Amino acid sequence: MAGLDNHWSALISGLAWKASPASTARKWSRGEWRRVAHLDYISDRVAALWARPLRLIVSLPPRHGKSELISHWTPVHALAVDASKRIALTSYEQTLAALYSRKIRATLMASPGIGAELSRERAAATEWETMQGGGVYAAGVGGALTGRGFDLLIIDDPIKNRADADSPTIRRRVWEWYRSTARTRLEPDASIIVVMTRWHEGDLVGKLLGNRESGDSDDSEFGDDWEHLRFPALAEDDDVLGREEGSALWPERYDSAYLRGARFESGPQEFAALYQQRPVRQGGAIFLSDWWRFHETLPEPTRGVIQFWDTAFKTGQENDYSACATMYDAPPDYALLNMFRRRMDFPALVRAVIAQAERYQPVRIYVEDAASGQSLAQTMGDRALVSAIKSDAPRLPIVPVRVDADKVARANAVTGYIEAGNVLLPERADWLPMFLHEATEFPRGEHDDMVDAFVGALDQLKKQSARQGGIMAWEDGGYRYI
């Protein structure tokens, strides 16, 4: 535990630059390193490797500083704290790993104050040592690591591009290299850091996370407990950095407008993987990924907007979300105008229903007539209660709906409309990556709230479109057909 002792003694003696890779970078980058919230967060987690063996996965969008922090400054930091540490630095090809190996060595040579003196006996770009016996070995994924043992294994972008990510052969090759080569070269109490932009649900990260995404074999044979830091380019609900939904991860470099343009150029599903770190399953069990139609501008509604709420008002991280789908028909198609999802207690849920109604002016608001939905329908039907919550709240056209408990059967009943291309999605919506991820993972995914709301709204639209006269609108205290 010499490294841990050196780490804490450095802090006590005032060498605070040894506290983390980011603080090391700020000290020795000659003013080039700037503080960025997501990189500071990652750096603090990486610094935990001095307290215990680390199993860390970092998922970041392209060009957001992941390699500079992990493949450059993390090894510099590790050798500053303990120059006897042996580090394996790997990437999809050896030339990229060697590039960062040279950067690490150049930083140490230019900064004697770091304290890691380089050996002259072994000083190649792909393999060099310190006088204390540590050093860096750079290799491509798939390359040999035999005959060596390492205290820190860094795997930085093991997949080169979309073609490689979509190749089962290459994905399997990466996985077998990790299992049979890289993972077996670790010393006792060694740490592993995997940093990559996501491409595919069956990539190395998907495998290491115990098949919550890939559906294939997992890493349980090693008993590793992975910590996964996922940073979407545009913030989602419960963001680890506390960002508001839709805000950019690194706004000084790539602001929200730039990222929305990237989503338009790359397409919603590619954006969900590369930028939001939510790779979409290619060919889901019920909703296939290539069925969806995306439009920059949705057609105008012909007969009014409806909303469908799937509710759950218990608080806590383990509870379901409440979700609201706002849809309308534009014959012969149906358009999903907005998807709202949030964990809320009951008072917040009531306020959200009012806010969504005021924003979109639905002609009907459908609420599942079960559990929290019953309470919501009763509350929203009581004018006095609604007025107490918001004095100028409009009279809301709440309609309780009894639904079949079989979610899969309900979803299967509407897939024909999606497969035929009759469901339109707005391609620039902030909520789109989350919705596509949940839809393509359904019914095996962790959450199904948005799918339930969407299916409920689509089912009501197709029922109402079949009625003579169209759908019903609220007017002067009652409904009429429009």
Q: Residue 229 and residue 248: Cα distance in Å, rounded? A: 16
**Domain encompassing residue 340:** 280-481
Q: Is residue 32 part of a domain?
A: yes
Confidence class of residue 444 from pLDDT cuts 50, 70 and 90?
confident
184-198, 221-235, 315-329: which has the highest mean pLDDT?
A: 184-198
Q: What is the pLDDT of residue 166?
A: 83
pTM of the complete model beyond 0.85 = no
Are both 333 and 201 inside the same structural domain?
Answer: no
Q: What is the DSSP letter of 333?
A: E
pLDDT tens digits, one per residue of 404-443? 667 877 887 888 888 888 899 998 898 998 999 899 888 7
Q: What is the pLDDT of residue 482?
A: 44
Q: Note the maximum CA span of the chain.
A: 90
CATH number, residue 92: 3.40.50.300
Are both 188 and 312 inside the same structural domain?
Answer: no
Q: Is residue 355 part of a domain?
A: yes
pLDDT tens digits, one per residue of 225-281? 899 999 999 999 889 999 998 999 999 999 999 998 888 677 777 888 899 998 876
Q: Is residue 176 part of a domain?
A: yes
Are both 25 and 173 inside the same structural domain?
Answer: yes
Read off the pLDDT of each residue in 139-165 and give the average, rounded to a whole number: 90
Q: Is residue 261 part of a domain?
A: no
Read off the pLDDT of each residue in 25-31 and give the average, rounded to a whole number: 93
The three-state secondary structure class of 95 is helix
Number of neighbouring beta carbons within 10 Å of residue 316: 7
Q: Residue 40 and residue 46: Cα distance in Å, rounded? A: 10
Read off the pLDDT of each residue in 179-205 and give the average, rounded to a whole number: 93
Are both 222 and 295 inside the same structural domain?
Answer: no
Q: Is residue 469 part of a domain?
A: yes
Count of domains in the chain?
2
- The region of weakest confidence among 146-155, 310-319, 448-457 is 310-319
Q: Give which of 216, 180, 262, 190 is closest to 433, Cα–Cα.
A: 262
Any idea which residue has 């957001």 for tokens? 64
Are both 133 and 201 inside the same structural domain?
Answer: yes
Q: What is the dihedral of CA 11, 14, 19, 25, to 10 degrees?
A: -160
Which residues 6+ apart lie within 8 Å of 404 measured at CB?
410
Are both 85 and 166 inside the same structural domain?
Answer: yes
E strand intervals along 257-303? 293-295
CA 245 from chain centre, in angstroms, equals 13
Q: What is the pLDDT of residue 331?
A: 85
Q: Is residue 248 part of a domain?
A: no
Task: Please check whether residue 190 is in contact with residue 54, taking contact to mean a CB–CB distance below 8 angstroms.
Answer: no
∠ CA 322-323-327, rounded to 5°: 160
Q: What is the pLDDT of residue 465?
A: 72
Q: Is residue 239 part of a domain?
A: no
Are both 367 and 462 inside the same structural domain?
Answer: yes
Are both 297 and 434 inside the same structural domain?
Answer: yes
Are both 159 and 301 inside the same structural domain?
Answer: no
Whole-number average pLDDT of the chain = 84
Q: What is the pLDDT of residue 185?
A: 93
Higher confidence at residue 175 or residue 482?
175
Higher confidence at residue 395 or residue 44?
44
Read off the pLDDT of each residue in 370-389 and give the average, rounded to a whole number: 62
Are both 166 and 290 inside the same structural domain?
Answer: no
136 strand-pairing partners: 87, 128
CATH number, residue 335: 3.30.420.240
Q: What is the pLDDT of residue 474?
A: 41
